[in-house]
Chains A and B, each alone.
Chain A
Amino acid sequence: MLYRIAGQFKTNYRADHALFPVRQDAVLLAVILICALVVFPLTASEFTFQALLIPVLIYSLAALGLNILTGYAGQLSLGTGAFMGVGAYACYKLITIFPEMNLLVAIGLSGFFSAAVGMAFGLPSLRIKGFYLAIATLAAQFFLVWLFEKWAWLYNYNASGAIQVPTIDMFGIRVAGPTASSIVQYYFVLLVVGLMTFFAINITRGHIGRSWKAVRDMDIAAELVGINLLRSKLIAFGVSSYIVGVSGALFVFMWRGAAEPNLFDIPLSFRVLFIAIIGGLGSVMGNYLGAILIVALPVVLNIVPEALGLDINAATLEHLNIMIIGALIVTVLIVEPHGLARFWAIIREKLIIWPFPH
């Protein structure tokens, strides 16, 4: 009833291929956007901003970047964390070398550094395939984190070896640094994530996106129908690493405030990979659903025992948390290997034909 598509006639090709061919989808998006732009910021507490809203957005952006590479172009990557690190360190260097630079521009530019590094490590993908390719991204992961630690120029030779976000103003408003308010940072992240998502949706459903899918499904066949494999794979590595790099810059500048090299170690890569897989490979929306689940789960698990009056110490809770996430991954994979995005697709299909079974 709610999701009736009858009566929405498409009279030309453009209308049929619009971003939202079904009116209800556009309405739903509008509701989500109103929530994100007005309702959440008005109602959220400081804790909600820092523990839920901002990390969910940043993690879903990172997962979106990974999803373009793994879900759309079919190249397994285990080095997401290091590419986020490249974005973060590039942004830090840009800001410290050019203090006058607009932060938005710096973050946009830092993505290009990680795109370049990503493409360099993507070059072997033409010869190495499948699980063997994981070694290329793992090499990137361990080598880059080592580099962040040893190359003192990257963190401006400071004694702690960590990067500290300086105080940055943009158009007279404080956007980064210890004194920036959460609500400003939230809007900043939302703007960047929104732009990136729009870009990602359009690139994945266009010519380039189709060539990625062809490469993913069978690369030799794709080559035979005239797709340039090198170009297609390298664009995938580049676009993916760009988005991941931007999310890494946001990760440090808008959320963590400071970063040590080991922050970008392999657990971060896996965390992002979980989000992409649980959300659904080869979907844009899935990343948001996955990020909500993975980020919210620890927060919920911390609150529930307190609410129930149980006294569980922090270490036990931490272990339980890891265990539950592990079990959750296995469960999601068994129940629906295509992730949460597929769940939504099923629900939507059911809603369209409801109340009839077929």
Chain B
Amino acid sequence: MDFLHSILIKPFADMVAAPDFLMQVLWEGLVSGVLYALIALGFVLIYKSSRIFNFAQGIMVVFAALTLVGLHEKGVHALLAVPLTLLVMLMLAVAIERVVLRPLVNQPDIILFMATIGITLFLIGFGELIFGGENKVMITEQLLIPTGSYTFEPFGGFLLIEQKDLTAVIGAIALVLILLLFLNRSKMGRAIRALGDDHQAALSVGISLSTIWVLVWFIAGVIALATGIVWGARAGVSFALDVIAYKALPVLMLGGLESVTGAIVGGLAIGILEKLFELYWGQPLLGGNTETWFAFVFALVILLFRPQGLFGEKIIERI
């Protein structure tokens, strides 16, 4: 009885007893959820247009952030370093398309997946070689991101919201809106979606595969830079950040590999639920640090009921 009570009743009683703490937890969860969603969005774009399960997305986040900080350290003005980093990401996209993807067209999925793991390792080695392996501080102030914080007192409690987190959330929403507008309204965006729907048909109406692939990888690079700035402002920039790349995997699977909506909903859901689980169940009952596996187990349970994820395309199998 005690056991059931501690699982089923006590956590909820705690939530009601300290609503300000609950709100703080929800806010923290929301912010990390936004970041997961951003990384998952990069994955989804590439998967939709090329059926490549891009494992390197997480490392592209670190690489973009490192390039930005590295350029600033070399004396480039912060606001000039951003377009320069974007240029580097564009070059990276072109290089990946030329060197890796083009020779591997039409290979089985797992081979392409492995190739992106190869890219991941290469980028880790390359990045550490150039920028060094130590932890760096994100140039938050130089990028004109406010660093103060607001405090609220709901229900007579205490709630702290950092301005950089708020900026991150607003920035992410803006980025997603621009992206959706681009995908749905522009010619290039329509070409990307066409390629996702049917490769052969898209090719036959004159959509260039290699241009679109470069474009998609570049957009993934832009998203990576945005994610890198935000996450770097919270936790510093180093290759330890690649753990968030693994976090994006359950987000993707939960939302469905092809769905932009799925990536956003999945990211927010996992961000919030893993914080709640850690604080109300994990730490009191399981010894803490459950954030390492909660997202995976949660996604696994959901997948048992919906094998294509919450918003994924229904898998139709034919002989």
Contact = CB atoms under 8 A, between A and B. Distances in A.
Given A142-B292, A326-B121, A218 B319 contact: yes
B307 interface: yes
A242 B244 CA distance: 31
Interface string A124-165: 100111111011101101110110011000000000000000
Contact of B119 (A128, A134, A319, A326): A326
A221 to B, nearest CB: 6
B122 A132 contact: no
Given A146-B293, A329-B117, A330-B115, A134 B249 contact: yes
Contacts of B179: none
Contacts of A330: 99-100, 115, 118-119, 122
Interface in B249-299: 249-250, 253, 257, 286-287, 289-290, 292-293, 296-297, 299
A327 B53 contact: no
Contact of A138 (B99, B110, B250): B250
B118 A319 contact: no
Nearest to B257: A131
Given A128-B304, A135-B299, A333-B115, A322 B246 contact: no
Contact of A322 (B103, B121, B293, B309): B121
B2 interface: no
Contacts of A131: 53, 109, 113, 253, 257
A169 B162 CA distance: 61
A266 B299 CA distance: 18
B49 interface: no
A320 interface: yes
A26 B225 CA distance: 56
Give chain A's interface secondary structure class.
helix
B96 to A, nearest CB: 10
B205 to A, nearest CB: 29
Contact of B125 (A130, A270, A273, A321): A321
A42 interface: no
B315 interface: yes
A333 B114 CA distance: 8
A220 B319 contact: yes
Contacts of B99: 330
Contacts of A334: 100, 103-104, 115
A146 B114 contact: no
Contacts of A145: 292
B104 A132 contact: no
Interface in A308-345: 315-316, 319-330, 333-334, 337
Given A138-B249, A143-B293, A322 B124 contact: yes
Given A76-B110, A138-B246, A325 B121 contact: yes
A135 B119 contact: no
B121 A150 contact: no
A320 B121 CA distance: 10
B147 to A, nearest CB: 32
B42 to A, nearest CB: 16
Give chain B's interface secondary structure class.
helix
A337 B125 contact: no
A273 B116 CA distance: 13
A195 B300 CA distance: 35
B118 to A, nearest CB: 3
Name the residue in A266, A281, A319 with the highest tally of chain B Cβ atoms < 10 Å from its Cβ: A319
Contacts of A322: 121-122, 124-125, 128
Name the residue in B107, B122, B315 with the highest tally of chain A Cβ atoms < 10 Å from its Cβ: B122
Given A128-B307, A135-B249, A330-B100, A319 B319 contact: no
Interface string A88-103: 0000000000000000
B125 A323 contact: yes
Contacts of B290: 146
B171 interface: no
Interface string A249-285: 0000000000000000010001001100100010000
Nearest to B124: A322
Contacts of B257: 131-132
Given A130-B109, A315-B133, A329 B118 contact: yes
Contacts of A316: 129
B212 interface: no
B246 A266 contact: yes
Contacts of B122: 322-323, 326-327, 330
Name the residue in A127, A135, A139, A143 with the highest tally of chain B Cβ atoms < 10 Å from its Cβ: A135
B293 A124 contact: no
B125 A320 contact: yes
Interface of A: 70, 76, 124, 127-132, 134-136, 138-139, 141-143, 145-146, 149-150, 218, 220-221, 224, 266, 270, 273-274, 277, 281, 315-316, 319-330, 333-334, 337
Given A329-B117, A337-B104, 20 more contacts: A128-B307, A132-B257, A132-B309, A135-B296, A135-B300, A138-B249, A138-B296, A143-B296, A220-B317, A221-B319, A315-B128, A319-B124, A323-B121, A323-B129, A325-B121, A326-B125, A329-B118, A330-B99, A330-B119, A334-B103
Interface of B: 53, 99-100, 103-104, 107-111, 113-115, 117-126, 128-129, 133, 246, 249-250, 253, 257, 286-287, 289-290, 292-293, 296-297, 299-300, 303-304, 307-309, 315, 317, 319
